[in-house]
Amino acid sequence: MDETAASLRVNGGEGVWARAVAVETGIRVASCYQCLRCSNSCPVSTFMDIKPHQVVRLVQLGQREALLQASSIWVCLSCEMCSTYCPNEIDVAGLMNHLKNAVISSHREPAEYEIAAFHDVFLRVLREHGRINDLQLMQRYRLKTLMHGQAPSREELVSEASLAWDLFRRGRLRFLPEKSAAAREIRRILEDYGHKKVSS
Ligand code: SF4
Ligand code: SF4
């Protein structure tokens, strides 16, 4: 039995899932000793229902349902501060990403649909052009959330129109997307990273 399996002796299906996460991601969750450095370094942990160190602990315990229903995984900015500060080199950010993909693969409703939709549209625009076009990003995001039955409030529309006007005045708003010379390389990185689509 390898080191990861030996450290994850949780009874029943929980142990199987915990081991599968460790094997699929290559992330050594069993090494976590709950020092909290990941949560203390996380810029948005205050807004999370389950803090980064608790996410790692719940993965160790095989608490799949609790994790897939958590809003934390969508609040996560993928800034990698947690992974950088972990003394055991546990890739907590990678774990968050794995959990996002697990929600999408299992066709569940993400706990934070609007964040998940923005995340999905952002990566799709990036994958297509290798860079972000703000106008296209917001059009697709609004269409996706509308199809999901979530209409923007008047305040949101006014705020977005004001931001678009400000960008336009400063010559920062491109009406047509431009393709980056590195688009193919960016697409390859996204495929390696495992971007999955959030359905409407
Ligand atoms: S920083 Fe690393 S070892 Fe410490 S709680 Fe977070 S994941 Fe565990
Ligand atoms: S990657 Fe996510 S969990 Fe880690 S520090 Fe950044 S926001 Fe927090």
pLDDT digits (tens, 9 = 90+) for 126-165: 999 999 999 999 999 999 999 999 899 999 999 989 999 9
Q: Confidence band (pLDDT; 50, 70, 90) for 7?
A: very low
Half-sphere exposure of 53 (CA within 13 A, CB side): 16
| Spatial CA neighbour of 67 closest among 33, 106, 35 | 106
Residue nearest atom 1 in ligand 1 by C-alpha distance? 86
pLDDT-derived band at 197, boundaries 50, 70, 90:
low
Could you state, in order of their start, the residue ranges of all structural domains in the chain?
Answer: 3-105, 113-193
| Amino acid at site 179 | K
pLDDT above 50 (res 4)? no
User: Under the phi-then-psi rule, with left for phi > 0, alpha for psi from -120 to 50, and beta for the rest, what region is 171?
Assistant: left
Q: Which amino acid is at 98?
A: H
CA distance 19 to 4: 7
CB of 122 within 8 A of CB of 137? Answer: yes
Q: Ligand 2 center to residue 148 CA distance, Å?
A: 27
Ligand 2 center to residue 81 CA distance, Å? 6
State the average pLDDT over residues 109-125. 92
Three-state DSSP class for residue 109: coil
Query: For 32, how many CA atoms within 13 A lie in the half-sphere containing its CB?
Result: 29
In degrees rounded to 5, what are phi and psi of residue 50?
A: -125, 120
For the domain made up of 3-105, the CATH class stated in words is mainly alpha
Of all helices (H) and strands (E), which one includes residue 51? none
Atom of ligand 1 nearest to the CA of 29: 7
- Average of per-residue pLDDT values in the chain: 88
Summarize pLDDT for 32-74 with one digit per residue, the tens.
999 999 999 999 999 999 999 999 999 999 999 999 999 999 9
Q: Are 44 and 76 in contact (CB under 8 A)?
A: yes
- With bands split at pLDDT 50, 70 and 90, how would you rate the model's confidence at 118? very high
Rg (CA), the chain: 19
d(CA 181, CA 82): 32
What pTM, to 2 d.p., does this model score?
0.80
Residues within a 6 A CB radius of ligand 2: 41-42, 44, 52, 76-82, 92-93, 96
SS3 115: helix
